[in-house]
Amino acid sequence: MHLFRTLRWVWPLITIALLGYGLHVALTVPPDADQGNVGRIFYYHVPTWVATSVCFLTNLICSVIYLVARTRSAKLAMRMDALAVSSAEMGVVFCFLGMATGSLWGRAVWGIWWTWDARLTSTLVLWLIYISYLMLRHFVSGDAMRTLAAVVAIFAYCDVPLVYMATRWWRTQHPAPVFFGGPDAGVAPNLMPAVRWNIVAWLAWGALVVAIRYAAERRRQLRDREVAIQTLEAVV
Amino acid sequence: MILVSLLTSIFPYDAKIDSPLDHQHLVIAYCITWTVQLGYLLYVCRKWYSGRPPDRQTEESNLPAVSSMTE
Domain map of chain A by residue range?
Answer: 17-235
Nearest to A107 among B25, B53, B67 (CB): B25
pLDDT at B36: 97
pLDDT above 60 (res B63): no
Residue B29 falls inside a structural domain: yes
Contact B51 A229 (CB under 8 A): no
Domain range for B29: 13-40
Q: Which residue of B has its CA nearest to A231?
A: B69
pLDDT bucket at A224, cuts 50 / 70 / 90: confident
The pLDDT, as a whole number, for residue A1 is 65
Tell me the chain B residues in contact with residue A71 when contact means C-beta distances shorter than 8 Å.
67
> What is the DSSP-derived secondary structure letter of residue B17?
T
Q: Per mean pLDDT, which range of A127-131, A161-165, B40-44 is the poorest?
A: A161-165
Cβ-based neighbours of A118, under 8 Å, separated by 6 or more: A166, A167, A169, A170, A172
Record the pTM.
Answer: 0.87
As a residue count, chain A comes to: 236
pLDDT tens for each residue of A19-44 = 999 999 999 988 887 788 888 999 99
Contact state of B25 with A48 under an 8 Å Cβ cutoff? no
Spell out the residues 6+ positions from residue B67 whose beta carbon is closer than 8 angstroms to its own.
A70, A71, A74, A77, A143
Split into its structural domains, chain B has a count of 1
Lowest pLDDT segment from A80-89, B20-29, B59-68: B59-68
The residue of chain B with its CA nearest to that of A108 is B22
CA distance to partner chain B, nearest, from residue A180 (Å) = 26
Residue of A nearest to B67 (CA): A74
Q: Are A15 and A204 in contact (CB under 8 A)?
A: yes
Query: Does the residue B25 lie in any domain?
Result: yes
Task: Of A125-129, B16-20, B62-66, give the range with the top mean pLDDT.
Answer: A125-129
Q: Span B42-71, mean pLDDT?
A: 66
Q: Identify whether B67 is part of a domain.
A: no
The pLDDT score that the predictor gives to residue A211 is 95
Q: Supply the angle between the helices A143-157 and A42-69 in degrees, to the nearest 10.
A: 130
- Where b means 16+ CB within 10 Å and e means fewer, A38-53 reads bbbbbbbbbbbbbbbb
Give the pLDDT confidence score for residue A180 in this predicted structure.
Answer: 62
Determine, yes or no, domain membership for B26. Answer: yes
- A73 CB-contact burial (10 Å; exposed 0-12 / middle 13-18 / buried 19+): middle
Q: What ipTM was predicted for this assembly?
A: 0.89
- Per-residue pLDDT at A235: 84
Q: Which of B16, B30, B62, B70 to mutate to test the interface with A (most CBs of A within 10 A)?
A: B30
| Spatial contact of A55 and A134, defined as CB atoms under 8 Å apart | no
Which pLDDT score is estimated for B5? Answer: 74
Least confident of A119-133, A157-171, A172-186: A172-186
